[in-house]
Structure 1
Amino acid sequence: MKAAGVSVRTRLRDRLAASDPGMLRMTAGLRMVGSLALTLAVLAVTGAGVTQLVAGALTAMVATFAIREKQRGAQAVTLALGLPVAFVSASLAAVLNERVAVGDVFFVVLIFCAVYARRFGDRGTGLGLIGFQVCFMSLFTGASTDGLPGIWTALAVAFGCSAVMRFAVVPVTPAGLLARLREAFRARLAQLVTAQLALLDADGDEVDEALADVRAGTARLHETALMIQTRLERGTPDASSARLVQRRIADAEVAAERLGLLLLTARSAERADTLTLHLPGAPAPEAGRMSAPDEATAALRRDLLALRTQVLHAGPGVQGTSIAHVRNRLLAYRDEESLPACSPAVQDVFRAIGEASRAVMGLRIALDGPQDESDDTPTAARSREELDAEDAAIDAGKEDEPAEESKGLQRPTTRAAVQVAVGSSLAIAGGELLSSQGWYWAVLTCWLVFINTESTGEILVKGYRRLLGTVLGVIAGIALAGLVGGHTWTAFALMLVLIFAVAYTAPLSYTLMSFFVTAMVGLLYTLLHTYSWEVLVLRVAETALGAACGVFAAFLVLPVRTDRRTNELLGTVLERLTEVTEAAVDQLSGGPAADLLDRARELDKALGELRAATQPLTHPVTPLRGRRDTARYVVALLETCAYHARSLAATAELLPTHPSIAADPRLRGAAARTVRNIATIAARAAGEDATAGIETGPSFASLLGGSGGDGASRYGRITGRVLRHLERLDEAVVGLARPLGVPLASDGRAVKAARSKDGSDTRVRRG
């Protein structure tokens, strides 16, 4: 019973860690609820009225979510600076509340400054949020000059309670957060292996559903890897440790994704396309290739279960000879003589299981230090020696030079500040026509739709989501207001629940967040004795007006069209893809070592920005169905390219220390065509060369003198793996040409000469 209880607790912990990596949403919710509750308690003891209680509660929320820095010292400085900013903002709003024209001008200037302050980083963003939201709080509570002392007291208490919750009650240290993120990575890796196991067993109509789970698990694992990447430097003792963890996370991610791809290929009638793992809704390849003997299939199922067991028991402090036995058995598949007698495709899956087991072992060593080696088999000992050699070769690397920033109105923060100022002016004018008492809701919506958006399409989608959440929230607010009646503390208790929901759902769904915020506003109106059906209907009207003003300003004032934004990001992704591919192939060809994993993560970051920018094009309500499918297809192809580039980078990183990997100088020439094609597509996307076309030609294996025979025996299986990645990368790049309107060069037969780095001419003909 005790063991069963521990198992249940472990499963629940892993599920929670996987659903909320690093417990970031849980921490945000607890901090906000704790700050609000503590503020209410302190103000209640001092005998504060309902207006001061509401002001304190809203300010506690602002002081909690406005702080963006990751370092505790920087957070403390921003919180300390935020209090005088809040005092000034609240005081000016109260003084100018009765002077309509001057007050409106002040509000617009404040909005401009708050958005413009984003150019100064997280601190500027936080102080701008505090200034605007506290001003909004003063308008909402109807603060006047006579009530300023009470408002000041509420502000001071709210900031103090927020500091107590942040630094004492719910502290988050960089090392602790990184530890929780690594647990999330382990849990999500186990979930992905579980999904791959389900794919192995799926039949008939279950295959597409199982493939969708594998696709979702792969994306969630990649998301967690990126979250870890952004926090490595602050959560590890030195740069070498950070790079070690970075390499091991990348190894585990690539190994897991490769295992899924090879498993899909093994159970397919033909070679599975990597695109299938990245294109939402793509059907599974036709089944029919899984012709291995039943004992081999059973062994595959057993070993996938064993791999999941190894992942689940890879946490700190887990020991036992049974886990070592499982690990040793899986690592044995890295030796050709240990592979079972089955088809080559199924043997590839067993090899991938062995590589995944090695990656899990390396990740545990990197995170938890040296392990007990008494149960190592010769294969396990050799794998450990390889890992040690790789660890010793780690170099801290060089820092990247800062990129050049735009100036003037081309700077995103300046442009957004002008846009939101114009939109807010329209919202104030229109809001005053609707109501002289609730016009600020229109301004709030206009302000919010510009936060974390870069293009007109993103602003349009965000405005739509806020309006939808507001309409649904009004319905909930009416029900809650009727339920609460005049019970003040019941209303505040429900507010705590809603505030937690706001913080917990904010990263997941803007519609859900808007729903909970609007429901909470209904309770606030009840507390302030200003609740009525008309007030909530006016809230919806003001929200619609604010969203419309924001969209209007975004389309007419210094607009950044969605096409322009996506084209710019597409060019960045292709540039990063070229850098990773060139550097990896150069190192695999015998060139000098480079910071490949850093470049691969820069590619992933750029691809994430592109994926977010295409959301307006891929949104379910978009009427342009063909454009939506094209955007999804292009992003999926780029994700496929990124996967193969990551794999090349991970293999190249092993080159200096891995005894079975040797540089192959022929790879540089073979990959030149792919690099040129990427550059051609990037030039067409940027509008630089409308005549250039992509090149096609013979397979990479033929360029290297054949895929088998002497080539394979001379350079080994690793060269074959590199060739497969290069070939699929080339296929994906060529696939990009069609949706992006890039033709084949010279109608697909002869192609234009391309000048190589050393000045010689190279000419590739289609095979």
Structure 2
Amino acid sequence: MRAAGRSGRTRLRDRVAASDPGLLRLTAGLRTVGAIALALAVLALLGSDVTHLVAGAMAAMVATFAIREKQPAAQAVTLALGLPVALASVALGAVLNARVVVGDVFFVVLIFCAVYARRFGDRGTALGLISFQIYFLSLFVGATVSALPEVWGAIAVAFGCSAVVRFAVVPATPAGVLQRLRQAFRARLAQLLSAQLELLDAGPDEIDKVLEDLRAGTARLHETALMIQSRLEEGTPDESVARLVQRRIADAEIAAERLGLLLLTARSAERADTLTLHLPGAPAPSMRRASAPDEATATLRRDLEALRALVLRPASEHTGTALAHVRNRLLGYRDEENLPPAAPVVQDVFRGIGETARAVLGLRTALDGPQDESDDSPATARSREELDAEDAAIDAGEEETPEEPTGLRRPTTRAAVQVAVGSSLAIAGGELLSTQRWYWAVLTCWIVFLNTASTGEILVKGYRRLLGTVFGVVAGIVLAGLVGQHTWTAFGLVLVFIFAMFYTAPLSYTLMSFFVTAMLGLLYTLLHTYSASVLLLRLEETALGAACGVVAAALVLPIHTDRRTNELLGTVLERLTEVTEEAVDQLSGGPAADLLDRARDLDQALGDLRAATQPLTHPVTPLRARRDTARYVVALLETCAYHARSLAATAELLPTHPSIAADPRLRGAVRRTVRNIDAIAAHLADEHADAAVETGPSIASLLEPGTDGTPRYGRITGRVLRHLERLDEAVMGLARPLGVPVAAPRR
């Protein structure tokens, strides 16, 4: 019974870890709600009235969510600096509240400075956000000079409560967050293996749904890998450990994705395209006719389940001869003599299981420390020796600091000018709608500019905020009528909505806007200023603020979506060239390069491009053909990135893996692919450029023949060639949607 209960708790923990990697959303929601609840309790004990309770609650929320630094010491410094900034901001708001023109001018200047401060990193961003939000708070509660001492006291209490909750009640160290992200990676890896197991048994009517689950699982695993990479520097004791974990995470991700592709090929009547795993809605390949279950299929199903168990089993339970026997059997598939009799495509799946088991072994060693080696088989011992040799060879490299743009080309400066202009329009229009509630338009204009970089992104964000506000207005009207004057019931619902707001923010901006507006309806009720007309005015001001933001983004130093996506696409192609060339050069016998960081740079560039194309791929966009093209291009680039990562991972094995030898012939095989990438990049930079992609024979045929009596190429060289061929095909596929001409093959 205890074992069953522990197993149930483990499954629940894995589900939670997979749904919220690192528990980042849960931590943000609990911290904010805890800080607000503690501030309300302290202020209530001090006898504060409802206005100051509201001020304290809002200040506690701002003091909690504004700080994004990862190290607790840095968070403490920023929080300490934020208090005097908040006190000064609310004082200026109270003084200038009655001076309309001066107050409006100062508000615009404050907005410009708050956005410009983002250039100074997380601390500048936090202090700018605190100054703006607290100034807004002074307008919301109608702070006056005579009431400043009470408001200052409420804000000081709020910041103190935020510190107590952040550092004592809900602490989160970088090492702890990284540990939870590792658990999330394991859970999502197990989910992907479950989807692959479903693919093995899926019938013709189920294959489309299983493929969607496979795509979603692959994308979620990659997302978690990027989250881990972004926190390795702060969460690990030294750089060598960070690079080791980064390497093992990358190995496991690549091995799992390759296993899914091998399974898809085994189930297909034709060679499965890697693009199928990356393009949403891509048609399923024609499947083989279902046959009676055979011994190989049963063994394959058993081993996939065993591999999933190896991934999920906690380190404390990773002992015992039975588990060691399973691990040894799976690792044995790396040797040809241990493969069961089956069709070649099915044997490839068993090889994939062996490589994935090796990646899981390396992942466990990197994350959980040395493992019990008493029951190792020769295949397992060989895998450990390879992993130990790789670990010893990992060395830190120096990173280049990219040159940053200056002046109005600097993103923070441009955004500050745009927000200042948009806020000026919002103030003018907002005061025409209401001399008392005009600041809602300014707040919306400010928010739609946060974390956006193009006109299209601002338009989509404004639309989502407006949609959430519409439904939030309806909910606010209903709840205000139900709650009435029940103060603490209203505050309880406010806490629920705030938690929901922070928990759903990374998932849906529309949902977050809904909870914000519903919460505001309750706050207006507490301040005895609620009416249906007030919430409708909130809707009007929101629409106006979003419109002002879009106008400012379109007319003042605009960055159009096409320009933004082309720039990012050029960056992705540049990173793709770097990874491919350096990996193939190392596989050809060249010097070792920092391929891990190169691959991470490629993933980050591709993530930026994926985010920038959201306005083009949004479901409500009227340009359907353009949306499909954008999705297709991103899917092709994800396919290219997968093959480039695989080449980099293989090249990293070269110095230590006894079965991998450099093949100088590979250097010539990649030249055409690199030329094609350069041609596409040149066409993006100048559509009139005289550049064209080149077709030709297969990559394998480009290899110069070996000496007499030697095989044409070995197994590892063959795997590299397969990745190069798929990469070459994907790059060729980019030519048509991007309008790059195709030249005749060279003779």
Report TM bin, short chain. over 0.9
Shift of 1:710: 6.4
Change (3 A) 1:121 1:646: same
CA distance in 1, matches of 2:291, 2:377: 32
Change (3 A) 1:534 1:375: same
* C-alpha distance after superposition, 1:266-309 (max 9, x if no partner): 11011001000000010110001777971111111111111111
CA distance in 2, matches of 1:426, 1:571: 35
Amino acid at match of 2:723: H
CA distance in 1, matches of 2:638, 2:726: 12
Change (3 A) 1:528 1:361: same
Would you say the 8 A contact 2:706–2:712 is kept in 1? no
Amino acid at match of 1:498: F
What are the within-5 Å matches in structure 2 for residues 274-285 of structure 1?
274-285=274-285
2:253 matched to which residue of 1? 253
Would you say the 8 A contact 2:57–2:158 is kept in 1? yes
* C-alpha distance after superposition, 1:88-128 (max 9, x if no partner): 11000000001111111111111111111111111111111
CA distance in 2, matches of 1:524, 1:731: 58
- What TM-score do the two structures reach when normalised by structure 1? 0.96
- What TM-score do the two structures reach when normalised by structure 2? 0.98
> Number of residue pairs matched?
747
What are the within-5 Å matches in structure 2 for residues 725-744 of structure 1?
725-744=723-742
Change (3 A) 1:574 1:289: farther
CA distance in 2, matches of 1:314, 1:255: 21
- SS of 2:625's equivalent in the other structure is helix
**Bigger Cα displacement from structure 2, 250-259 vs 292-301:** 292-301
CA distance in 2, matches of 1:647, 1:293: 33
Change (3 A) 1:588 1:238: same
CA distance in 2, matches of 1:222, 1:321: 33
CA distance in 2, matches of 1:292, 1:205: 18
What are the within-5 Å matches in structure 2 for residues 646-661 of structure 1?
646-661=645-660
2:516 matched to which residue of 1? 517
CA distance in 1, matches of 2:708, 2:455: 56
1:174 matched to which residue of 2? 174
1:358 matched to which residue of 2? 358
Shift of 1:716: 2.4
- SS of 2:102's equivalent in the other structure is helix
1:756 matched to which residue of 2? none
Amino acid at match of 1:605: Q
Amino acid at match of 2:604: K
1:100 matched to which residue of 2? 100
Shift of 1:189: 0.2
- SS of 1:272's equivalent in the other structure is coil
Amino acid at match of 2:728: D
- SS of 2:333's equivalent in the other structure is helix
1:30 matched to which residue of 2? 30
CA distance in 2, matches of 1:295, 1:320: 27
Shift of 1:749: 3.6
2:243 matched to which residue of 1? 243
Would you say the 8 A contact 1:89–1:134 is kept in 2? yes
Would you say the 8 A contact 1:39–1:60 is kept in 2? yes
1:380 matched to 2:358: no
CA distance in 1, matches of 2:742, 2:192: 38
CA distance in 2, matches of 1:216, 1:682: 29
1:583 matched to which residue of 2? 582
CA distance in 1, matches of 2:686, 2:110: 39
Shift of 1:528: 0.1
Amino acid at match of 2:484: G
1:668 matched to which residue of 2? 667
2:401 matched to which residue of 1? 402
CA distance in 1, matches of 2:709, 2:469: 68
Would you say the 8 A contact 2:269–2:285 is kept in 1? yes
1:762 matched to which residue of 2? none
Equivalent residue in structure 1 for 2:718, among 714, 717, 720: 720
**Bigger Cα displacement from structure 2, 699-708 vs 603-612:** 699-708
Shift of 1:690: 1.8
Shift of 1:425: 0.7
1:499 matched to which residue of 2? 498
> Aligned-residue CA RMSD in angstroms?
1.4
Amino acid at match of 1:83: L
Would you say the 8 A contact 1:268–1:289 is kept in 2? no
Would you say the 8 A contact 1:617–1:628 is kept in 2? yes
CA distance in 1, matches of 2:709, 2:454: 54
* C-alpha distance after superposition, 1:303-359 (max 9, x if no partner): 111111111115455322222111111111101011111111111000000100010
CA distance in 1, matches of 2:171, 2:316: 22
1:86 matched to which residue of 2? 86
CA distance in 2, matches of 1:642, 1:17: 26
2:188 matched to which residue of 1? 188
Would you say the 8 A contact 2:668–2:703 is kept in 1? no
What are the within-5 Å matches in structure 2 for residues 427-446 of structure 1?
427-446=426-445
CA distance in 2, matches of 1:59, 1:464: 27
CA distance in 2, matches of 1:579, 1:555: 34
* C-alpha distance after superposition, 1:150-200 (max 9, x if no partner): 110011011111111111111111111111110000000000000000111
Change (3 A) 1:707 1:91: farther
Shift of 1:679: 1.0
Percent of aligned pairs sharing the same letter: 80
What are the within-5 Å matches in structure 2 for residues 474-489 of structure 1?
474-489=473-488
Would you say the 8 A contact 2:665–2:704 is kept in 1? no
Amino acid at match of 1:278: H
Change (3 A) 1:701 1:709: farther
Would you say the 8 A contact 1:314–1:364 is kept in 2? no
What are the within-5 Å matches in structure 2 for residues 293-692 of structure 1?
294-315=294-315, 318-398=318-398, 400-687=399-686, 690-692=689-691
CA distance in 2, matches of 1:689, 1:308: 52
Shift of 1:7: 1.4
Would you say the 8 A contact 2:29–2:502 is kept in 1? yes
CA distance in 2, matches of 1:36, 1:345: 59
Change (3 A) 1:220 1:670: same
Shift of 1:227: 0.5
Change (3 A) 1:327 1:674: same
1:754 matched to which residue of 2? none
Amino acid at match of 1:575: E
CA distance in 2, matches of 1:749, 1:254: 32
Shift of 1:70: 1.0
- Structure 1: tracts of 5 or more residues without a match: 751-764
Shift of 1:65: 0.6
Shift of 1:524: 0.2
1:697 matched to which residue of 2? 696
Shift of 1:567: 0.4
CA distance in 2, matches of 1:10, 1:642: 34
Shift of 1:2: 2.1
Amino acid at match of 1:298: A
CA distance in 1, matches of 2:103, 2:437: 14
Would you say the 8 A contact 2:705–2:712 is kept in 1? no
- Structure 2: tracts of 5 or more residues without a match: none
Amino acid at match of 2:517: T
* C-alpha distance after superposition, 1:22-73 (max 9, x if no partner): 0000100110010000000111111111111000000101000100111111
- SS of 1:738's equivalent in the other structure is helix
* C-alpha distance after superposition, 1:692-713 (max 9, x if no partner): 10112111211225799966x4
Would you say the 8 A contact 1:97–1:103 is kept in 2? yes
2:147 matched to which residue of 1? 147
CA distance in 1, matches of 2:741, 2:189: 40
Amino acid at match of 1:343: A
Would you say the 8 A contact 1:292–1:343 is kept in 2? no
- SS of 2:693's equivalent in the other structure is coil
